[in-house]
Amino acid sequence: MTSPHVQAVVAGAEVVLIQLEIPLETALAAARVARDAGATVIVNASPARAATHDLEALSRAADVVVVNEDEAREWHWPVPHLVTTRGARGASYLYDGRDVDVPAPAVEHVDTTGAGDVFAGVLAAEWLSGPERALRRACAGGALATLTSGAGGCAPTAEAIDDVLSATD
């Protein structure tokens, strides 16, 4: 991440979502820039392919780490907020020694491709409104993403998330 423009964008954000589909050194550089600027750093630790020492360094720069159940068994580094996605069963959220389960709305899924990315994106977009609200909305967004075939265009609108949450309250 050498571009001054990219660094300025990252440094100017309130929340930065990093996924491991980019080179890990780029992810770590972005996390450090964001952290130094006071942004909340959310790391979606997928795909889990990074070396242990790299993940440890990334965990030190993260405020929130998102893993799936398989990745959770391999995640050994403390972070302030650990979110584990559980597919149709929603997500769990571990912070300050507390573990909170957040259910996902029941849907008849078509394709789960992209649901994890939608979950992470909604979580990041909503994080500053409070972690538990963000998790509820992320679970709903991830569930709704499975109603469409393929990852392109599967992200639901905020209104669709509102509708499914109001129907489950």
What three-state secondary structure class fits 34?
A: helix
> Is there a contact between 135 and 128 (Cβ–Cβ < 8 Å)?
no
Relative to beta strand 15-19, strand 64-68 is unpaired
Reference 143, options 129, 127, 130, 167; nearest CA is 167
The residue from 99, 101, 117, 169 that is catalytic is: 117
Let me know if 117 is a catalytic residue: yes
Cis peptide preceding 47, ω within 30 of 0: yes
Relative to beta strand 91-95, strand 98-102 is antiparallel
Provide the annotated active-site residues: 117
